[in-house]
Amino acid sequence: MGDGSIRDPMLRKPLFRNRLLARALLYTGGVLAVVGVVVLANWLREPIAHWSWNRSVEEWLSHEEVELLQEYLRIDTSYPDGNEIPAAEFLARHLEAAGVETHIERLGPRNANMWAVLEGEQSDALVLHNHMDVEPVRQPDRWTVEPFAGEISPPWIIGRGAFDMKSVTIAQLMSVLDLARRGEPLSRSVIFLATGDEETGSRLGTRWLIQHHPELIDRFWAVLTEGGAVEARSLEEIKYWGTEFAQKRFLYVEACHGSQRRLEALWRDLRRLNTLTLRRSLLPEIETFLDRYGPTRDSERYRELLADPASLLVDARLLELPWYLQLSMRHEVAPFPVVEDPEGGFKMRIILHLFNDSDPTEAIAELLPDGAIFGVPYVLEIPHEVAPASPIDHPLFVAIDEMTNAEFEGGHGPLFVPLAATDARYYRAIGIPAYGYSPFRILATDTLTVTGPNERVALEGFVEGVDRYRQVVRHVLGLDTESP
């Protein structure tokens, strides 16, 4: 299959053909460990205990972080029926037990935001951001366990939100608890921030805080949130550990029509757009990403193409690259399935993936051509924010780079995300550096459960990653990184 980094052929399908995998790659839970098919097959023939993964439930629950994750997974925060308030109370309760003052803002009967501050010498704070809400449980009949039971089935813990993003939340919580329990003086303040409503646009989450709590936002020095990706040839050999520093811009379109067939015809027309004619670009942030990422490819052909990415803007050789790399250098349109409109007729969501320097009017003309959209009314939501890349010479990124490269011999680098968006874009749009980081080495098979049945995280990678996250936070703050 060519390059060894992304082996599953499903990963080459467009977003509108496999939304689940797009999220596994680049959105929520923001965590991806890609293991080659041959390597994975060999691993499956060996006993899991080879990596000491198959411990008993009691042994796993002896880890505080596992017990906390299980408790957190048992809180249903799925939209539209779940409730974020018990999640905020759960997080606040554990912080307050360590002596950390917390604040919960309740927004109606189901939504909430929660934050806690560890004061340091500098008021400007390192922000550990997470979102409490999770995707709904679709296809419940395909779950083999109760989705909100937090069941431990060694070597995994299973539950909605395990991957996106409650495992990262617990890593952040444990980092703050570690700082609070030690009581060491901090050179910089630390804010633990849990927001809601991320899965449906962050209107009552991050965007609400930016609008209504400038006194808090003004303290943000830098934000560490979901995102990032890990590519591995095996569990021991890390190929590329990417920390997300830049994303595309997205325009959201809702097309409406009384005829289902008309919208389905539009869906087909948009899928048939000639990708060779769509705008291409090599923005500085993409060049920064590819400069570090390209030499790590196993395929000699990929390394050759990525050695001169600017040359790919003018001919068909771009199509030789994996799909996710193609999207780094061109526009994309992603139509979703046609659904019934509760107000009558039918509707279809369309997402336009653009470069940050794109003119929205020109992009709409390109990706929704008159010949396809003619006669179909649509509503366009144009986000006002244009989110520039966060600098990779920022002390937060440098600290992650130093720690990860020391552990994995130069395997870390910046990651450009072409497919999906996180709340990092809202912080970047107002000038706050934000980075998507995952501390976990997770099997590729686990990434395929994101938003799907039996969402799970391997506990060995989780426990290891919680400690890695703690050490990164301590390193950023100039503290020793020895194990407690």
CB proximity list for 342: less than 8 A, separation 6 or greater: none
Helix (H) or strand (E) segment spanning residue 246: strand 238-247
pLDDT at 292 exceeding the cut of 50: yes
Structural contact between residues 30 and 229, judged by C-beta atoms closer than 8 angstroms: yes
Strand, coil or helix: what is 62? coil
pTM, rounded to two decimals: 0.88
Mean pLDDT computed over 67-78: 98
For residue 122, what pLDDT band results from cuts at 50, 70 and 90?
A: very high
Joined together, the tokens standing for residue 34 give 């890609």
pLDDT at 129 exceeding the cut of 90: yes
Q: Return the bridge partners of 380, or none.
A: 253
Least confident of 106-115, 224-233, 264-273: 224-233
Measure the CA–CA gap between 184 and 80, rounded to whole angstroms. Answer: 41
**Mean of the per-residue pLDDT values for the chain?**
88
Per-residue pLDDT reduced to its tens digit, 265-283: 999 999 999 988 999 999 9
CA nearest neighbour of 129 among 457, 435, 460, 474 = 435
Joined together, the tokens standing for residue 268 give 């087909």
Q: Which residue has the higher pLDDT, 431 or 386?
A: 431
Measure the CA–CA gap between 427 and 418, rounded to whole angstroms. Answer: 18
CA dihedral (112, 135, 435, 481) positive or negative? positive
pLDDT at 29 exceeding the cut of 90: no
pLDDT in the model for residue 384: 62
